[in-house]
Amino acid sequence: MFAFTVTAQNNKNMARCGRLQTPHGLVETPVFMPVGTRGTVKGILPRQLREAGVQMILANTYHLLLRPGAQVVRDLGGLHRFMGWDGPILTDSGGFQVFSLKSLRRIGRDEVEFASHIDGARVRLGPGVATRVQNQLGADIVMAFDECVELPCSRERMQDVVDRTIRWAGQSKAAHERDDQWMFGIVQGGTDKQLRSYCCEKLIELDFPGYAIGGLSVGESHEQMIETVAFTAPLLPQEGPRYLMGVGTPRDLVAAIGAGIDMFDCVMPTRNARHSSAFTRSGTLKLRNEQYKLQTAPLDEECDCYTCRNFSRGYLRHLFMVDDKQPEIAGPVLVSLHNIAFFQWLMAQARAAVSENRYEDWARQWADYDIDRKNNNDV
């Protein structure tokens, strides 16, 4: 049911293309996964995701555990049927919520206790629970439970994070019961190369079929992140997929592919769209800006997504400006569709550049990609 094959390798850096076979279909890598936290990519239908070129999506263990509950999802046919998405799915373990909900949790040796952000109810999540929940949800790829911490971080604290992550990885693998799911281990260690190397070594001993690099895009600079990725990726097995979690901007993605990463996820395409920000080949557009009021051009002249084929910048700006508190819902939806399509186009361009052995030259144009143009001041 599972296989990963490297199909092309750039000869000037670590960039590569691959084919990831899963029980729910083939994924061409490098791949970017839109985030469907609660079992849906906000505002976007599964059919629209397919039309935008999406191959694989991510869902969140912690949030689906709270609502509707893993057993409910299982009883309704599993996550694929529940979501109406017949392609590959990856579920994170809930480890990121150890970081993002730090004001609502307490970390113990073998579990994390949360006060639910919904109603304050006590929620316990650890390697065993996170794995059982992911087994019930039924995604193609599931993640070992880990701890993520904000940077900068003291070395003593980071050593604790790495030790706990390694211990939890072993417990996660021991609890994993489904042969039709691949489980990935997650490498922690911040920007400390010695700890990253140690964590890789110990996780590789557990023999996961794939590995993720976690604990980045949490406070470090772009340069620190890419330096860490470029150091860590070669330490991981060449024959398995490498996944950089929660990243990011176009320049982050392009640089990380050059360092050998195969898989990505991030909320940025849809989150930024809900705040009127559109990604284009020449930079980002903040659609609330006055300058777009009378523009008849699409978001991106070269894009063939549904939004760019049918709507002008002026119209999209109107959808965000009709109400001071809340835009017309079509605005975030249409810009989300475009942003998702843009990220899928970017991955397709990266795969072509690797296959044609011109990745280094192609990547240069993205090194200074502007994600929020300084001359576009909101009005």
> Which residues are part of the catalytic machinery?
92, 265
Write phi, then psi, for 35 (nearest 5 degrees).
-100, 120
Residue with tokens 């439970």, as numbered in its chain: 145
Neighbours of 127 (CB within 10 A): 24
Closest CA to 278 of 222, 325, 340: 340
Report d(CA 39, CA 285) in Å as an integer: 28
Q: Hey, is 54 helix, strand or coil?
A: coil
Distances (CA, A) of 145 to 106, 123, 135, 355: 15, 15, 13, 34
Dihedral through CA 322, CA 44, CA 304, CA 246, nearest 10? 100
Report d(CA 256, CA 275) in Å as an integer: 26
Helix (H) or strand (E) holding 64: helix 61-66
Spatial strand order of the sheet with 16-22 comes to 3-9, 16-22, 25-29
Closest CA to 89 of 22, 186, 9, 3: 22
Report d(CA 349, CA 334) in Å as an integer: 23
Answer whether 350's CB lies under 8 Å from 257's CB.
Answer: yes
